[in-house]
Structure formats: structure tokens, C-alpha cells
Structure 1
Amino acid sequence: MPHDRNEVLQALQSIVGEANATNDPSVICSYAWNAGVGSMPGPKFLKNWPIAVVMPGTTEDVAAIIKCCVARGLSFRPLSSGNGGTYLSASENVVVLDLCRMNRLVKLDAANQMAVIEPYVTAGRLQAEAMKVGLTCHIVGAGPSHSPLASATSFLGVGITGSSTGANFRNILGIEWVTPTGDIVRIGALGGDDDWFSEEGPGPGLRGMIRGLIGANGGLGVFTRIGYKLYPWAGPPRIAITGTSPMKGMALEPNMRLFLPVWDTVEQMRDASFRLNRAGVAFALLRMPPNHIGWTLTASNGEYARLREAGQLPECARPEHRFGWQVLTIGHSPGETAYQEKTVRHIVSDTGGRMLPIEQKDAEMLVRTLVTSLYVSRVFRGAGAGGTSFGVMDTFNLLPDVIRASEQLMAKEKKPGRYFAADGDEGCWVWPTESRQLWTENILASQAGTVRGVAAGWKGFLRHLNLVDRNPRLGLMAFMAGPLIELFGPRYSDVPTWMRRIKRRLDPPGLADSTVHVGIKELPIAKSWPTLQKIAFSTAGAPALHLLCLLLGVASRKEKLPKRKS
């Protein structure tokens, strides 16, 4: 149904003021730009541009905006700070709520190790303030520019300091939520006595409904404030930066130790993982493939390539040292620091591992990436385009199976003339969540700027999804959002049906944009997907899958299909 754009704009401006709502195409175009997700972007601009962009300043503004949209049958989509394209909307007549004005760090309560934050408080800003009082926060893979509120309420929320700072889906305390009908709901202790200390009571405890495991990505309304759990930080109140851009590191304090243990087999690494997690001595525990470490420790792709060809990369970035961890410990006292070091060295030695040496400048680079989660942009630099797959959240017993499956799938696209740019056998990042649960995802780095490069990224991504869906030995697939929930969700206790029941109850007209969630209606392809899946990933269906991925590459790059060589 067509809408009077000027009438919509005037209604929004009456809520937030003339300066904070617009339908000017020169502004709207930036909200229609497809940031994509790495190697699998769509066209540069979305088909459907927002009808307006509005910047609320308060929770009451958000509630009034949603009611304004509901009265006119307009979809709405919230946007805060992050890394990736999950804010994108496929809806027509969508109003984008840019929450950039809601950037208040309302309270930092050191005694109770928590903060109250709004959507545009970034993890880097929160961490910097928390460190001044001996605390830190969980920072997910999106890095220090992401919104902890968005991560905790609306997306997966796992990051490399999961050994010591939990996971954001458990770090939520009190919640302030504007429902898809514009009602303001305060959850948990906040709903009982106006305190933020607990999400679970004495008011309604709705965390499982509003976010589940991976979150609704705006499909169930807007979260405007949360109480957020912080964790002890034994490091300095301010990070001492070393080096110069782009090779800035962090000085190691006397109570910090960085270890780079490696093992000959992935089974040895797995066994050591159980013991390291059980010991609980690590502030951060991260595994990246050696080539990803190499990209992190070099200023440019050219430098990485030169060092690699000359055999001069640091030992931890050499392909023969694949099965290893970066272990960062930070002690609260000299005695604890010594205990942590003794424990790590004993576990590594007892499981057949050895420690790699590392120069101070390289150690400082790795420590900064571990503390602030700054590694993502450096790793994606290697190919210019990248995506991710698997997203396995399960037991560490599955680690060998996941790495071997990644090797098998990536080998098909790394033959001469193919379009994966990574020079390693696989791209698995690994870390523990809450010092117990395996998290691993496989990075797909494909050649940017080419149809076949994008097609390779898509094909690798789809094959990973299919393999996890068919193989219980690869655990729970946590990267399910939008259409993927419809296609692969039935394996998990028919989760799309339950999510849709909640969606229909909370949002009867379906106006909270569900591009990255489930809609009111089931996707037409969902019922036929089991049959299509068998065909697409069979030997006979391989040419059709290849053509589909090429067409996705054409759509994303607006290039002509390459001519087939005779």
C-alpha cells in the first residue's frame, strides 16, 4: 500500500524533532547500502529503501515511533553499532530507527560489577570505563565497535574472552523493552523494584522468549536499556599502547603471560583444551589458523606474502603449527600469576605439546587483539572479502571432526584456478564459552571483486550448512538467522514453529522487520526444502548449485557471467 512520505515524515518529526527524522534520498541511500556479510553480499543497494530514518533519543520516543508505524501499517527496523549487515531490511515501507542518540552509559556500578547501558554504548567505550575501576566486559567477534546491548539482547553474543567473561546471552541483567505494539516492558528485578540487578525476578523472566539462543535481530521490538554484567580485570586501568598504526600493540604488564602452545595432532589439542578450561586460568583462549595469525602480525598483504615466500614469518604463523592456542593469563597477585604459568606449562607438557617462542612486538600485537577483540578486520584483510560458516556450539569432543570437515570442504575450492584466497587448509577460529563449551566457526576468505570469487564464498557457505545439517558429529549450528531458520531449524526441535508462535502473539501484523528472524508466514520454500536440499547437494545437482552461486555473484557484483572456455 503506498504511503504519503511527507505525512509519515511529519508524524515522526512531531515525536523527535525536525532534525532527527528525514526522508532525504541523500541520507536514506546510506541506510540502503548493502554492507553485506563478507564474501556473500547482495547488490550494492537494496531493492527497498527505507521510507524514512528516525533517531529517537529516549525509550518513550521509541514507543511513540513504533505506535506511529503500527497506526500506518509501516514496518520498522532498529539499528545500533556493530560489524556486518544483519541490520538490513527486505521489507517495503520500512522506517529505520537509528539509535545513535541513545548512547548513554547510565550507570557503572563497580561494587556490584555491572553497568546500565543504552544501545549505542560500544564495547570499547564500556571496557575503557570499566578498566578504570578494575572491571572489563565481554567483547564479541564483531570487535570493540559493537553494541553489547544489541549483542546481549538480539544476536548470538560470543567472543574470545569467553574463558573469563561468559557470553552475552547470559550477561543480561535487567531489560527495558519496547514491544512491537509500542508497549514499554521492564523485565526481571527492574519490573519489581526499579533495580537492574537480575533479569530473572521478581518480575517477568522472559529472556528465553525474547532472544532464545541467537536473538530476534529486531524482529520482536526494540531493547532500549539493559543491566549488563561486568567481570574482574587484573590489568592496568588504561591500556599502554605500543607501536604505530597499523601495528599498534599493548604492553604486557608484569602479571600478564602470553603462551603459544602447539601440538602435533588436533586430538592432542582437544585433550589439552579440556584441561585448560577446567583449570580456569586463562583470561582469553583463542585458536586461529596460522595464516590468520600472519595477517594479524603484518601491516599489509604484501608484507605477509613477502615474509611467507622468504620463510620468515613468526613461528606461530607458519602452516606446520596448525594445532595451537593463544593463551593469555592475568594474575591478581604475583602468587596467582606464578600459579597460572605453572598450570599452563604443565598441561601443555603433559598432553604432548610445546611452547613456541615469540618476539615482544608480536606478543604485544596478539595481546591487544585478545583483550579488545580487534582481530576480525585484520583477518578479513587477507582476501578483501570474507564470510563465516559452521558456528558450532557444542562439546570440545567435536573439534577434530569440525576441523576435518572444514578441510574437506575448502579443498574443493582451493584447487588451481579456483577462487578461495586463503592459503591455509581451513579457517577455523576456536574458543571456549564460559570455560566449557566449544565455539568454532570456519572463515571463508574468497577473492573480492570477481563473480567467481563471490560464487566460491556462497558455495562454501551453503555446503557447510548442508554438512552440519546432515552430520550430528558436527554439533549444534548456531549461525541460523532469517531464511536459514526456516530451512535448517526443523532439525532443532522444530524451532521455527515455536519462534513463529511467539512472533504472532507479540506482533500480530508482523511489522517488526523479520529479515533476520522468522516472519508471520512460513516461507514457501520451507516445505519443499528437504527435497530441494537432497537434489542441490547431490552429484547430479552440483552443476545447478554452481550456476546458482554464479548468479548470486553476478547479482552482487553487477558483472556479466564469465565466458566458458572452450
Structure 2
Amino acid sequence: MTLTREEYEALESIVGPENISNDPVILDSYAWSGGVFRPHRPEAVLLPQSVEEVQAIIKTCNRYKIKVKCHSTGWGPAGLVSAPKTILLDLRRMNKIIEINEDAMYAVVEPYVIAAELQAEAMKRGLTCHLIGAGGSCSVLASTACYHGESPFGIFMGHGCENLLAAEWVLPNGEIVRTGSLGSTGEWFCGEGPGPGIRGLVRGTWGTHGSFGVITKIAVKLHPWPGPEKLEITSSLPIYRVKIPENMDAHTIAFPSFKEMMDAAYKIWDAKIGYVLHRQFNFFGEDLQAAIVKILLDPNKTIYHLEEVLKDPEVQNLTEKMRKSFQIILVGNSKRHLEWQEAALRKILDETGGRIVEECEDQAIKELTFMWLIRLCYKNWNFYAGGYLNGYAAYGSPYSVLSLFYKSIEHKKELIEKGLIVDDGADALMGTLSLRGGGGVIYFENFCLFDVADPESRNAGTMYRLISGEVLRKLGYVGNFGGPSEAYFYEEKEKKEKIIKESTHPEAFRWQAVFKKVFDPNNVASDEYLTLEDSS
């Protein structure tokens, strides 16, 4: 179903002919992400530049009953449309850091400001910002107000939703809402009041996926950075490393089993140490991570040398040493403070049977680890095998998710034995060991890498994701992929409703049905804004 000439020209009159397209080649490029090609492409893509243009677009869509989806940096399939007669707003022209308030420790940003950009500006002022696991190239606004928010910095900075302050939001009916202190004083410093807080409506746990109006500006918390204004580069392309400041350090620590790893997480939380707690390199798989680290550090090697590097005895030794490991960045307010944290960490490792992987104390590996996790860069390497999907992604207390680790590994082993997905050792569990500020909750995903050019392999990856969601729902786990997000893969209303009802919190989607009736009378919100209308 394409837009009529009248509809297209009405939208074109708002943004200008150079900022709208219905070229099939352009539209197809907005229907693919992360190895996934959605069956629906947008009817048109628009690039608005201001809240006034966004509001005018949404009012026009109300007039013509056109659905609206928006994205900023567009990481992952959730940024794509999933229904006919939907236009996509690409917010890349809304890319300004409007304010950095050093005294109140917040920044005001538009949708296309990426975390790496804001972090670099904040570091000049002794501050830094929350970055999500998807990387520094992702939108600050999206990860804070609209989607996910899990972060390697969680122990120190919390979840994305904990960093949201005031917001400017164009509702699906075209009205503009300014939340928190912005609506009452014109200032950005607070996300609530006076009156009832609506951050739950704006954000919830997982966000609205850019599917319920458009958030055009937010204020986001900033956090202390006791480091240099600019990190010192110690290497050249293709992989930059940085000098580690004297009050900071980076380690890879390993354990006999997942149980001891989780024991250590509790003790690290209690000790209140750690700036970053993340299982990063294991994304490549427990059998491949050491080889890929070696490839990254050798300018004469590429991923095409993987099989050769895997035969290296030194790499084989490191592979064994890095099993059941994660990375930790320690940041002290002084060198002495760092020394205390180092001592606390070693005591925790003694108590849990853990150890620092000595081979990863090599200065080049430490500098790579520090750069990767402080800046959360090199996310292009997520696609080293072609396509990937994550599965068995739930959050909970450390011990509560252990059974999922083993289920996900067994599931992947079955697919590996059939030759359907990349043989990475089956354990490619990556995630943060502290989802919320101070600890208490973790979040892991076991990644499944597949060949996007092979239909069987691609289908195996998709089914891995969908089956993992069914497992999570049956076991009662709260989580994006055990919650209702599999509903996006289906167009049938009955299938969508079944998935939502089986989630751990169906009442949230009954409330979203109420919100939709009030704020979206003409049904322009994209289908990713899930609702449940039943008699309950």
C-alpha cells in the first residue's frame, strides 16, 4: 500500500523534497538491520529537523490515517517498520547537544547525538555519560528514553531509564508534552513533578521503540569522570588503544564455573568497587574470543586469518584461560583509592576461586580492554560472522538466571552440531554484571551468529531467538526477549495477543491500550507499541 500523491506532497511540503524519499532502493535500505530483513518497508522516509516539523508530520499522518515510526541511530531490527502504510522518520538531522550543565550534572540532547560524542564533550568537564552495551555509536536519547538501556557501566551509572530527566515528546495525536521540571519551570533538571510522574508512560522498562509519537529532546544525567579530558591514543588503525590513567585499571578475571562468577558479582557489589563490569570479549564465543583478541592486536591479521590463528599454541592456551571470564574496569578518585579497590578485588577472587587472567595483563590487551569498555567502540565486530541475533535474554538476580545460561548453551550446541550456525563454543553469553546502580540485577544475552546468505542458517538464527522467548515466558522470566517482543515477528493478531498474555506483565499492555485510546485516536502509532485489549 503506497502513499497517494496527495499524501506524499503533504508530507513533502513540511520537510522539503530533499528530505523525503519513496525510492525503492532507499526504502529497502531502511528494511534491513543486523542480518534481519523485515517483510514491510516504509512507504516513505522523512528527515525532519525540528520539533515543529515532527509535530506537523504527525498531524498530517492523523489527517490521512498513516502510521508513524521513528528511529535515530537505528541499531537493530526494532528500528524498522513492521506494518503496511507506515512512514519512517529518520531523526539524523536532529543532532545537537543543546546544553551541558556542569553544576547540575546533566546534558540536553536531540535524538541523533551519539553517546561517544556526548561522552567526549562531557570528559572535557570532568564528567561522562551512560553508554549502553550496543555501543558508543548509539543514540543517547533512544537508549535513555525509548529502548533497552542495559549498560556495562550499570554498577556506577544504573540503567538507561534511571538516567532520564525531563523530556519533550510529540504524542501520536500531535500534541507536545514537556515532562517533569520542563513542563513546570522550563528547566531540564528533573524528570518528575509537580504532579503525577509519567516516566513510566514515556519509558516503562523497555521503551516504546520509537512507536508512540516522537521524543525530540531529553535531559540525561551526567556522572563523575576522574580522568583526563582526552584519552591518549597508543596505537594506530585498524584498532586504537589508549593509555590507562594511573588511577584506573582493566582486568579480565576468570572463575571455575558460572556459580563462582555470580558469587563474585555479589561481593563486588557489596564492596562498592568497579566502574565497568561486563562480559565483553565472550561475545565472540568462548572458543573464539582469544583468537579474535590476538587478531585485533595484529595489524597484519584480519578475520580471514581466524582458522590459522586458532592453531597457535599460545592462543589455544589463552582460550582455556579465558573461559568463564569477564572484564572489570576499576576507577579510583586517586591512585590510593585505586590501590584499595585492587586489594578488595583480589580478596574477592581469593574467596570465590577466581583469578586475574595473567596473559590478559599484557599491556596491549589491557589498553584494548580499557578502550573498548570505556568508549564502547568497535561494535562493527558484532557482524564479524555476518548476521547475529541474541536469545535467552532475561534480567534477574545472578543465581536466578544460571539455569538459562545452561539452556542457551545446550540449544546452541544442537544448532552447531547440525552445521547451521557459527561454531563459537556455544557460550557466547555477553552482558553486564550490574544492570542497576549498585548491583542487584544482571543481564546477559547468548548470541547466535549465522550466515545471512544461507536461508537455512538465517532461519536457524531466527528460530533460536523465537524459541528462547518461549522458554523465558514458560519459566516466568521478566525480560525483553521473554516478554512480548517476539510479537513483532508476527502479523496475526491472535499470535501477538497470545505472546503478550504469556508475558510476566500483561497488565502493562492493558494500560498501554488505555493510553492508545486517549493519545492515539486515529491509530497512527506504529505496531511496535503493543497493546492488549481483553476483558481482564
> Same fold by TM-score, threshold 0.5 exceeded?
yes
How far apart are 1:130 and its partner, in Å? Answer: 0.6
Counterpart residue number, 2:392 = 390
Q: Which of 445, 449, 452 lines up with 1:445 in the alignment?
A: 449
Q: 1:252 to 1:486 in 2, by over 3 A?
A: farther
Q: How many Å separate the matches in 1 of 2:259 and 2:500?
A: 30
CA contact (8 A) 1:127 1:137 kept: yes
Q: Which of 369, 373, 376 lines up with 2:372 in the alignment?
A: 369
Q: How many Å separate the matches in 1 of 2:207 and 2:189?
A: 21
Q: 1:450 to 1:158 in 2, by over 3 A?
A: same
Q: 1:19 to 1:137 in 2, by over 3 A?
A: same
Question: RMSD value over aligned CA atoms?
Answer: 2.3
Tell me the TM-score normalized by structure 2.
Answer: 0.89
Q: 1:423 to 1:350 in 2, by over 3 A?
A: same
CA contact (8 A) 1:482 1:517 kept: no
Q: Secondary structure at the match of 2:415?
A: coil
Q: Secondary structure at the match of 1:170?
A: helix
Corresponding letter in the other structure for 1:337: L
CA contact (8 A) 1:191 1:203 kept: no
Q: 1:138 to 1:57 in 2, by over 3 A?
A: same
CA contact (8 A) 2:253 2:355 kept: yes
1:143-542 matches, cutoff 5 A: 143-202=135-194, 204-288=196-280, 289=282, 290=286, 291-292=288-289, 294-299=291-296, 300-313=302-315, 317-319=318-320, 321-357=322-358, 358=360, 359-381=362-384, 383-415=385-417, 417-431=418-432, 432-433=434-435, 434-436=437-439, 437-472=441-476, 475-479=477-481, 480-481=484-485, 483=487, 486-490=497-501, 491-494=503-506, 495-514=508-527, 516-518=528-530
How far apart are 1:129 and its partner, in Å? Answer: 0.4
Q: Secondary structure at the match of 2:113?
A: coil
Q: How many Å separate the matches in 2 of 1:277 and 1:380?
A: 32
Query: Percent identity among equivalent residues?
Result: 29
Q: How many Å separate the matches in 2 of 1:111 and 1:122?
A: 22
CA contact (8 A) 1:34 1:85 kept: yes
Q: How many Å separate the matches in 2 of 1:127 and 1:229?
A: 12
Counterpart residue number, 1:111 = 103
Q: Any stretches of 5+ residues in structure 2 without a counterpart? A: 297-301, 489-495
How far apart are 1:454 and its partner, in Å? Answer: 1.1
Q: How many Å separate the matches in 1 of 2:337 and 2:158?
A: 21
How far apart are 1:297 and its partner, in Å? Answer: 4.4
Q: How many Å separate the matches in 2 of 1:150 and 1:493?
A: 23
Q: Secondary structure at the match of 1:198?
A: coil
Corresponding letter in the other structure for 1:334: K
Tell me the TM-score normalized by structure 1.
Answer: 0.85
Q: Secondary structure at the match of 1:100?
A: coil
Corresponding letter in the other structure for 1:454: R
Counterpart residue number, 2:491 = none
Q: Deviations over 1:328-358 (max 9, x none)?
A: 1111212211111111111111211121112
Corresponding letter in the other structure for 1:373: L
Q: Any stretches of 5+ residues in structure 1 without a counterpart? A: 523-566
Q: How many Å separate the matches in 2 of 1:492 and 1:71?
A: 36
Q: How many Å separate the matches in 2 of 1:20 and 1:400?
A: 49
CA contact (8 A) 1:510 1:519 kept: no
Corresponding letter in the other structure for 2:111: P
How far apart are 1:66 and its partner, in Å? Answer: 0.5
CA contact (8 A) 1:81 1:120 kept: yes
Q: How many Å separate the matches in 2 of 1:502 and 1:314?
A: 55
Q: How many Å separate the matches in 2 of 1:114 and 1:204?
A: 22
Q: 1:211 to 1:155 in 2, by over 3 A?
A: same
Q: How many Å separate the matches in 1 of 2:341 and 2:393?
A: 30
Q: How many Å separate the matches in 2 of 1:394 and 1:298?
A: 34
1:31-42 matches, cutoff 5 A: 31=30, 33-35=31-33, 37-38=34-35, 41-42=36-37
Q: Secondary structure at the match of 1:407?
A: helix
Q: How many Å separate the matches in 2 of 1:421 and 1:318?
A: 17
Q: How many Å separate the matches in 2 of 1:296 and 1:499?
A: 45
Q: 1:22 to 1:304 in 2, by over 3 A?
A: closer
Count of residues in correspondence between the two structures: 509
How far apart are 1:372 and its partner, in Å? Answer: 1.5
CA contact (8 A) 1:387 1:457 kept: yes
Corresponding letter in the other structure for 1:419: L
Q: Deviations over 1:101-155 (max 9, x none)?
A: 1111000011111100000111111011011111111111221111110111111
Q: Secondary structure at the match of 1:115?
A: strand
Q: How many Å separate the matches in 1 of 2:144 and 2:129?
A: 12
